[in-house]
Amino acid sequence: MKFSERLHQKLQPIWRQNHAHPFVKEMGEGTLDKEAFRFFMVQDYLYLIEYSKLFALGAVKAENVQQMETFASLLHSTMNEEMALHRQYAKKFDITHDELENAQPSPITLAYTRYMLYEAQNGTIAELVAALLPCMWSYWEIGKELNEIPGAAKHDLYGEWIQMYSSEEFGQLATWCIDLLDQAAEGKSEPELYKLEEIFLNTTRYEFMFWDMAYYQQMWPMDQSFDGKKR
Ligand SMILES: Cc1ncc(CO)c(N)n1
């Protein structure tokens, strides 16, 4: 069995909780609070900036030119295609360039991105990919699942999101990451594979917390007087 299949099987119960999160469900039904989605889009934009750096680090740690090309393509697609979706939504929501530039990460955005960056910077290429794979893979699965709901992909607000993440292009990126992990896990010992599982589990957990953070629009609890603007 491929390592990715083993992970997928083992973590099914936790994986399912991500799909069942009210944010995801309500996006599919078209009933999600607009403000929660706006909050999500801003935080996800900040998330993707840091996430892109994992691909850059992947290119540095790549073990051959072909892997390097894959990471370069992933970096390019994330910054130019996936983030284009966020810029488009920003226009729809009247989120100005200034607001996006000055936006501050929520505690979960900060914790999640820094955790991934820590593993990417300090770990092997396999650990780097284990950290980023749940992101790509779960969004692709969620996109496809929501796309099955009649009318969901045509929804005024959430339709474009569903179209993006259920697209073949996005599926291709997710497949590349799955293949990268299977390649990198080849020949590894059980303790090393266990470490990969642990990282994959942690970012899967963070995925759930990211939905939760957006659904409840959670920022820091006590510093409303600090607006975070760069002066
Ligand atoms: C939090 C999060 N996870 C995964 C993706 C998919 O790239 C995303 N855009 N945001």
For the structural domain made of 3-27+35-215, what CATH number should be given? Answer: 1.20.910.10
* 155 to 78, 83, 138, 147: CA distances (angstroms): 23, 20, 21, 11
What pLDDT score does 86 carry? 94
Report CA torsion sign: 80, 86, 92, 93. negative
At 24, is the pLDDT very low, low, confident or very high (cuts 50, 70, 90)?
very high
* Residue 214 CB less than 6 A away from ligand 1: no
Mutate to test the pocket of ligand 1, among 207, 208, 212, 215 (most ligand atoms within 8 A of CB): 207
Cα of 21 from ligand 1 centre, angstroms: 15
Quick: pLDDT tens for 57-105. Answer: 999 999 999 999 999 999 999 999 999 999 999 999 999 988 988 999 9
* Residue 131 CB less than 6 A away from ligand 1: no
What are the extents of the domains in the chain? 3-27+35-215
What pLDDT score does 227 carry? 57
In this structure, which amino acid lies at residue 40?
A: F
Per DSSP, 78 falls in state I
What pLDDT score does 66 carry? 95
- The answer to whether residue 201 scores a pLDDT higher than 60 is yes
C-alpha 213 chain-centroid distance: 14
Report the pLDDT averaged over residues 180-200: 95
Stated pTM of the model: 0.94
Cα of 140 from ligand 1 centre, angstroms: 10
Cα of 141 from ligand 1 centre, angstroms: 12
Percent of the chain with pLDDT over 90: 90
Using the atom order of ligand 1, give the atom closest to the CA of residue 206. Answer: 1
What pLDDT score does 226 carry? 57
Is the complex ipTM higher than 0.95? yes
At 4, is the pLDDT very low, low, confident or very high (cuts 50, 70, 90)?
very high
Closest CA to 184 of 51, 63, 6, 11: 63
Report the pLDDT averaged over residues 98-126: 96
Report the pLDDT averaged over residues 150-165: 97
Count of alpha carbons within 13 angstroms of residue 207, beta-carbon side: 27
Q: Is 169 exposed, middle or buried (0-12, 13-18, 19+ CB in 10 A)?
A: exposed
What pLDDT score does 173 carry? 93
Mutate to test the pocket of ligand 1, among 24, 42, 51 (most ligand atoms within 8 A of CB): 51
What pLDDT score does 128 carry? 97
Cα of 183 from ligand 1 centre, angstroms: 23
What pLDDT score does 191 carry? 96
CA–CA gap between residue 192 and residue 56 (Å, rounded)? 23
Neighbours of 198 (CB within 10 A): 12
What pLDDT score does 229 carry? 58
Segment holding 189, helix H or strand E: none
Using the atom order of ligand 1, give the atom closest to the CA of residue 78. Answer: 7
Tell me the average pLDDT of the chain: 94
What pLDDT score does 222 carry? 76
Quick: pLDDT tens for 205-230. Answer: 999 999 999 999 999 987 655 555 55
Nearest CA to ligand 1 atom 5: 135
207 belongs to the catalytic site:
yes
What pLDDT score does 101 carry? 83
